[in-house]
Amino acid sequence: MFSLSQIEHDLPMPPHLLSRPLPDAIKAELERLFLDKVITKLGLCVSVYDIRSIEGGSIHPGEGCSTYKVSFRLLMFKPFNGEILVGRITGYDDKGLQVSLEFFSDICIPGHLMQFGTVRLCTTCFANLLSQLINYHYCSK
């Protein structure tokens, strides 16, 4: 479900960040660029895990920022096909089901990707079904 991905990136550093210590400024810029974004074939970036190396600091003609070649690792979330995840249903509508995991809450499962036989109940029907289950549970003891 989680993996570390090694990435090399030519990172232009805005001048206003250069007053901070370089590793802190680079980490802040990497988080701005990658955090909470999906990277093709890698998954959702959850965190900048560490910075392995920083090289350069060159200023290219016509640019007002210095560029660093940064090697770093990102903590990625990419569940494999068929993996079972535990989450909390936060809502549903005609588009599908909204689910929240502990660390990420913007998951939408479209209705056409639900398992065969999944039925959406209206609030009243759900309340009736729930009360029947509770009654059955207490009556069967």
Same domain, 6 and 71: yes
Q: How far is CA 26 from the centre of its chain?
A: 21
For 37-83, give the DSSP string: -EETTTEEEEEEEEEEEEEEEEE-TT-SSEEEEEEEEEEEE-PPTT-
Please report whether residue 53 resides in a domain: yes
Cα distance between residue 136 and residue 66, in whole Å: 69
Contact by Cβ (8 Å): 25, 18: yes
Look up the pTM and report it. 0.68
Within a domain: residue 10?
Answer: yes
65 and 93 housed in the same domain: no
The reply to whether 35 and 92 lie within a common domain is no
* Within-domain flag for 82: no
What is the distance between the alpha carbons of residues 122 and 93, in angstroms, rounded to a whole number?
A: 10
Q: What's the CATH code of the domain at 49?
A: 3.30.1490.120
Residue 16 and residue 68 in one domain: yes
Per-residue pLDDT tens, the chain, 141 aa: give them: 889 999 999 999 888 888 899 999 999 999 999 998 889 999 989 999 999 999 987 777 777 788 999 999 999 988 888 888 888 888 877 778 888 887 777 788 887 777 776 666 666 666 666 676 676 656 655
